Each structure stands twice: as structure tokens, then as C-alpha cells.
Amino acid sequence: MVDPRIVIVGAGPAGTRAAETVVRHGLRPVVLDEAPQSGGQIYRRQPPGFSRDAKVLYGFEAGRAGRLHAAFDALAGKVEHHPGTLVWTVRDGAVHTAPADGGAVGRFPYDALVLATGACDRVIPFPGWTTAGVYTLGAAQVALKYQACAIGGRVVFLGTGPLLYLVAYQYAKAGAEVAAVLDTTGFAAKAMALPKLLAVLPALAKGLYYLGWLRSRGIAIHEGVVPVRVDGADAVEGVVFRSASGEERRIACDAVGFGYGLQSETQLADLAGCRFAYEPQSRQWLPEADADGRSDVAGVYLAGDGRRVRGADFAEMAGELAALAALGDRGIAVDQARMAALRRGLDRGLRWGQALQAVFPVPHHFLADLPSETVLCRCEGVTVGDARRAADDLDAREINRAKALSRIGMGRCQGRYCGLSAATILADTAGEKPETAMRIRGQAPVKPVPLRTEEAAS
């Protein structure tokens, strides 16, 4: 029998464990990742020549990061690893690639494809969010971890989710000035009220630790805020917010990091033809898969945050389980007891993911109160008012129709940063449930590829 060809997209926690599992069963998988080094988002490695140690980079997670990196490095020579390689579409049983630096395109046919594409920040627009100097929380962390830079000289962090206090803590610890943390949730109050959850959610315990640390350094923390606007014409000069008691306040700063948790990166699953289902807490349509990660498309498996945001530990389990499923489905003997244990672990992960979302809810309701001139699509300058008009005057309640009529989600980012907000705005305006607006369909290329390669590919 010819060995099955297994292709893994993503070399983060999920992709690394998938690759390791395939190698352990005597096969040589192809591992493709856009990033120059393995590690994914949370365990992103700094460039060669940087010298901070793992404890500085990864804090409490230093041990896990080290283990994951060692696991990937041990696969050298046993996997066909192509770093710096974007997968821009999945078509006819093959993934199509383009090198990040614009070289020749590639094509990797597969018998089994494991998509471990991770997540990106969930954002909700607010007036001034497109001002130069406003970044996602994830970006603020990438600047520090990957480039040893702070996004500004005096930074305000805004939003909700585990990253909010973590990134503020990492900044203050690195010696950057944190002007304030503006929490839209009231995290401390909530977490204190949930001692039971605390026991099962180490993320909350860590969050409270960071919060206490920041407080003890005198860093201003405001809970239950609503963002009002970012001031500054050509660059950030300050942030205005409404406090829990309803008064408007302004904090001078030169940078803002904001975000409301993470959203799955699902475009490749879409292009592969996977069926999607609506997930009400996040209001995201997610690719469907069974407990092991099998999608409804034969040979396509989904793992990690790209399937459902559950965090790094569960991403590792999901990567291993999806690989075992892919191997087992191809007649290779796999450890059934191990699969059962991983399934139980992931089931816990599902509950943990839901609990996290309950503690750090995405403030969807902010969208209803946005002034209509607020930019919704940062690529093409489409406003909240344009979206409301599409739903109202043009009767475009479905997002792909609204896209055709108003250019929402048509820009270079493919609707990653406006699509979920646009769907809620369309549904709110039409007085319908949010899922009625559906989701922006994925399109190739999932990210722009340098023109040279695009031409060569067509």
C-alpha cells in the first residue's frame, strides 16, 4: 500500500501535535505555515539573534512553550516543513501555496488534510478605531514578544478576554507605560462572584493575579466601561470612554490595544467545502466536525482554535486527536484508548470555552449604539450607516448580498475584522436574529499573494 499523503496547515500547538502523531505512526507529513518559525500564536518564537529567555517571553507558559518547541524541533528531517508558506486555497484535493516572499507557487495533493489555522482577535469598531496607533490586543502582544517593542510610549488597553490583563501585565513588566486598562466586562467583580468557576478555570485565576499586580503598581483599571472614541487626526492622542457610572472620561495616550477575545480562522475550511453551523455565544459560523475533528468533507480534519476557540492546551489535544482520526480512517492502527481520553479532554475544553465566553462576553450590544459615521470596514471605509442602509433601504439582510451592494467585507482582509460586526448590524437593523445575516463566504486567495505568484497560478 502506498503511504497516505497527510498535509497539515499550521504549526502552532494543534499542528505541532498533529505532525508529531503522524510521524510516530511512521509517516512523513507535509507541514505548511505562513510564519517563519513553528510555534503558532501563543508560543510564537522571537527571531534569531534575540536573546530574552523563555520565562520573559512566555511567563507562566514558559514550560509548555519549551515542550512544544522541542516537540517540533525533534521532528526535523521527519516532516516536510515549509515555513514562510501561505496556503491560499484548497481545491481538487490539493492545497495551493505561495511563499511569503513572492517566489514560485506550489501545490500539495493530500489524502488527509488537517487544518490547524488558529484564530485572530475579535474586534468591534468604535469611532476612531482606524486611527494610526490603534492596534488589536494580539498585535500589542506580538510587538512585545516578537519584536521587543511596545506599541506606544503611553498605552491604553481596552476590551475584554484573557488577553486584556495579560498583555497589560506583560507591558508593565517590560517597563512600558500602561496609562490604563479599560475593561468592558467588569471582570474582577464577575470572577469573584464565581468561585466555583475559578477552580476549573486557571485562566481566571491568572487574570486575577495580573489584575492584582497591576493594581498594586497603581495602574488605573476601569471596569464596566463603554468605549466612546479615539482622539487624534493623524495619530492617537487619547481615548474617551463612558465609565460604569455613566460619565465620560478621557485618558491621554499615544497608542491603544483593544479586542474582545478571539475568532476562529475558518476561510480554508470554507474553501474545502466544510459545512458550517452557527455558534450563538460568539455569533460566529464555525466549520462542523465530529468529536475527533472529522469534517463532513472526506479527508478534511479540523483542529485547534481554527475549529473552535478553546485555547492552547486543548489545541494540542485536538491536533493529536485529528491526526489519530486521519490515520485510523486510512487503515493505520491507532490507540483507541488514547483517542477516548483525548475526546474526554476536549469535551472539558468545550465547557471551558463556553465558560470563558460567559465570563468575557463579546459586547455585541455596543454595535446598536454606534454613530452611523463610524467606520465599519477598515479596508474600504464602509461605515456603520452604509450597513444599516443596506439592510433597510436595499433590503440586503444577508451579508453576501450586503457585501455586493455596500462593499462590506470586500476589502483585503476578506471581512475578518468587520464581518461578524456587520452581520449583527444587518440583523439588528432588520429586527431579525443575528444568524439570519449568515456569514461572508470565503474566497481564494484567503490572503493577498504577491502579484507575480497570483499570475503564475491562474
Ligand X SMILES: Cc1cc2nc3c(=O)[nH]c(=O)nc-3n(C[C@H](O)[C@H](O)[C@H](O)COP(=O)(O)OP(=O)(O)OC[C@H]3O[C@@H](n4cnc5c(N)ncnc54)[C@H](O)[C@@H]3O)c2cc1C
Enumerate binding residues for another protein (CB under 8 A). Answer: 34, 36, 41, 46-52, 56, 100-102, 120-121, 130-136, 138-139, 142-144, 146-153, 174-176, 233-235, 254-255, 265, 375, 378-381, 411-413, 416-417, 447-448, 450-452
Smallest separation (angstroms) from another protein to the CB of 234: 5
Smallest separation (angstroms) from ligand X to the CB of 138: 3
Per the listing, cell 440583523 goes with 427
Smallest separation (angstroms) from ligand X to the CB of 164: 11
Position 263 contacts ligand X (CB under 6 A): no
Q: How many residues make up the chain in this entry?
A: 458
259, three cell numbers: 479586542
- DSSP annotation string for 310-373: --HHHHHHHHHHHHHHHHHHTT----HHHHHHHHHHHHHHHHHHHHHHHHS---GGGGGGS-TT
Which 119-148 residues touch ligand X, going by CB under 6 A? 119-120, 138, 141-142
Smallest separation (angstroms) from ligand X to the CB of 150: 15
88, three cell numbers: 491560499
| Residue 299 neighbours by CB distance under 10 Å | 19
| Residue 394 neighbours by CB distance under 10 Å | 13
Smallest separation (angstroms) from another protein to the CB of 34: 6
The CA distance from 102 to 453, in Å, is 6
Q: Which does 133 bind (CB under 5 to 8 A by kind): another protein, ligand X, none?
A: another protein
Q: How far is CA 458 from CA 34, 93, 454, in A?
A: 21, 17, 6
The stretch near ligand X (CB under 6 A) out of 46-54, 101-109, 309-317, 415-423 is 309-317
Which of 342, 425, 446, 449 is in the footprint of ligand X by CB under 6 A?
A: 446
134 versus 312: smaller Cβ distance to another protein: 134
| Omega within 30 of 0 (cis) for the link into 445 | yes
Smallest separation (angstroms) from ligand X to the CB of 4: 21
Position 442 contacts ligand X (CB under 6 A): no
87 versus 376: smaller Cβ distance to ligand X: 87
Smallest separation (angstroms) from ligand X to the CB of 129: 17
Q: Which does 453 bind (CB under 5 to 8 A by kind): ligand X, another protein, none?
A: none
Sign of the CA dihedral running 306, 307, 310, 315: negative
The CA distance from 386 to 30, in Å, is 44
Which of 6, 7, 11, 402 is in the footprint of ligand X by CB under 6 A?
A: 11
The CA distance from 14 to 326, in Å, is 14
Smallest separation (angstroms) from another protein to the CB of 144: 7
Which of 30, 268, 362, 379 is in the footprint of ligand X by CB under 6 A?
A: 268
Position 112 contacts ligand X (CB under 6 A): no
Alpha helices in 193-335 (DSSP H): 195-200, 202-216, 267-271, 312-329
Q: Which does 247 bind (CB under 5 to 8 A by kind): ligand X, another protein, none?
A: none
Sign of the CA dihedral running 412, 413, 419, 422: negative
19 versus 410: smaller Cβ distance to another protein: 410
Q: Which does 275 bind (CB under 5 to 8 A by kind): another protein, ligand X, none?
A: none
Rg (CA), the chain: 22
Position 42 contacts ligand X (CB under 6 A): yes
177, three cell numbers: 507605560
The stretch near ligand X (CB under 6 A) out of 35-43, 290-298, 343-351, 381-389 is 35-43
For residue 13, give the nearest of 85, 118, 140 by alpha carbon. Answer: 118
271 versus 321: smaller Cβ distance to another protein: 271
For residue 162, give the nearest of 16, 9, 41 by alpha carbon. Answer: 41
The CA distance from 33 to 47, in Å, is 16
Q: Which does 375 bind (CB under 5 to 8 A by kind): ligand X, another protein, none?
A: another protein
Residue 303 · residue 321 · CB < 8 Å: yes
Smallest separation (angstroms) from another protein to the CB of 58: 15
The CA distance from 351 to 318, in Å, is 15
Q: Which does 131 bind (CB under 5 to 8 A by kind): another protein, ligand X, none?
A: another protein
Output the CA angle 298-302-308, nearest 5 degrees.
140
Smallest separation (angstroms) from ligand X to the CB of 77: 21
For residue 405, give the 3-state DSSP assignment: helix
Which of 8, 25, 27, 41 is in the footprint of ligand X by CB under 6 A?
A: 41
Q: Which does 268 bind (CB under 5 to 8 A by kind): another protein, ligand X, none?
A: ligand X
226 versus 444: smaller Cβ distance to ligand X: 444
Residue 84 · residue 101 · CB < 8 Å: yes
Q: Enumerate binding residues for ligand X (CB under 6 A).
A: 9-15, 32-35, 40-42, 86-87, 116-120, 138, 141-142, 163, 166, 262, 265, 268, 304-306, 311-312, 315, 446
